[in-house]
Amino acid sequence: MCGIFGIVGKNIDSDTISSNLENLISQISFRGKDGFGHFFDQDKNLFIGHTRLSILDLSDQGKQPMMSNSGRYFITYNGEIYNHPELRNSLTKEHSRHWKSSSDTETLLAIIDEYGLDRSLEIIDGMFAFALYDRFEKTLTIVRDRFGEKPLYWSIINNNGKSGFVFSSDLNGIL
């Protein structure tokens, strides 16, 4: 179980995020106490945060948000890809992929990098919720598994001149 959180919108600045970062993460920290990471793109008014519960890869190489090898994608991910060993073996054989970690997050990013998001969602098997930021297309996509096993809450913000979109793996992360 990990915690994911993000916000994108107008007038969201790094000072506001920085001054509230500890409070924002504390709201979901019970979902993962093994580490915390974040990504902030000031130009796009985008913040993505992650609290980690290390299961498949206990090293720092599995920390999130994680960037794809191509540099195109950032992901904050909660879940388990059941067929990640098979997908990883396939990518290694067919595309000579080299791995930095043993995490299924890295496998998921590599699949998305290689096949795109739509095709990747067809071939992965698991329970998950994640947010994927595409730096080339400048899009943020949030995804949940077909059965909704992993929680993912979201809301539209329109308050005091600030507007945007917020998501979290826990309702407290939004409130």
**Catalytic sites, residue numbers:** 2
DSSP 29: G
Contact between residue 42 and residue 13 where contact means Cβ atoms under 8 Å apart: yes
CA atoms of 34 and 97, how far apart (whole Å): 27
Chain length of the chain? 175
**Hunting for tokens 């396939």 — which residue is that?**
90
Nearest-angstrom CA–CA distance, 111 and 90: 10
- DSSP-assigned states of every residue in 30-86: GG--SEEEEEEEGGGTEEEEEEE--SS--SGGG-SSEE-TTS-EEEEEEEEETTHHH
What tokens appear for 42 in the block?
Answer: 């000031």
